[in-house]
A = this chain, B = another copy of it.
Amino acid sequence: MTVLPPPAPEWAVVQWFNTPDPLTLQALRGRAVALLSFQMLCPGCVASALPQAARLHALFPRERLAVVGLHTVFEHHEAMTPAALRAFLHEYRIPFPVGVDRHDGASPLPRTMRAYAMRGTPTWTLIDREGRLRAQHFGEIDDLHLGAEVAALTLGADLRAPRARGDAPGCADGACAAAADG
C-alpha cells in the first residue's frame, strides 16, 4: 500500500512583490514548487537561504519549477512591515515572487506558517506537480542536497524513499525523515 503525501494548504497572502498577479498553489499545478519561508531580519535567511533561492530560481526553467518566497513574520513585527520588506527586496535584488503571510488576531505567527506547522525561518517546503507536500526543511540545507531533491521533484520522483531503507550517510539533517512518513 502506498500512502500519498497530503495536499499542501493554500497560501494566505496579503500582498505580493515581484509578480504582476497574485500566485496561488492552484495556478501552479503542473509545476514543482520550492517555497522559502523567511524573515528579512533573520541572519541565516539573509546570508544563506535567500541567495540559495536565487540560485535555484536561476538554474531551473520556469515551466518546471516555481521558486516562491513567503515573508512569515513572527517577531519584531514593527520592524518587518511590508514597506520595509519592499526596501529589503530591492536592496538585495531578490528576483522571484514574494508574498507576505497574513496575520490574524489569533497568534503572533501568521496563518500560512501555522497551516504548514513551520518551526521557524528559514524553512524550505517542497511541493510536487500535483500540489502535494513532499518535504519540509527547517534551517540550512546544503546546495548539493537541495539541488538533488528539487531535480527529483521536477521529474515527478522522490529521492527520499529509496534512502529511507538505504544508507545515505550524508543525509544528516532531520528534514528527510520528517517528510518520509507522508
**Chain A residues near B (Cβ < 8 Å):** 41-43, 46-47, 52, 55-64, 75-76, 78-81, 83-84, 86-88, 90-92, 142-152, 154-155, 157, 159, 162-163, 166-171
Which residue on chain B has the smallest CB distance to residue A150? B148
Asked if B91 and A168 sit within 8 Å, CB to CB, the answer is no
27 contacts between A and B (CB under 8 A): A41-B84, A41-B88, A42-B91, A43-B91, A46-B46, A52-B144, A55-B142, A59-B168, A59-B170, A60-B168, A60-B170, A63-B166, A76-B84, A76-B87, A76-B90, A79-B83, A79-B84, A79-B88, A80-B84, A84-B84, A147-B147, A147-B151, A148-B150, A149-B151, A151-B151, A155-B157, A155-B159
Q: Which of B43, B81, B152, B171 contacts A59 (CB 8 A)?
A: B171
Task: Give A144 to B52 CA distance when docked, in angstroms.
Answer: 9
Assess whether A148 is in contact with B145, with CB atoms less than 8 Å apart.
no
Q: Contacting A152 at CB < 8 Å: which of B63, B151, B163, B166?
A: B151
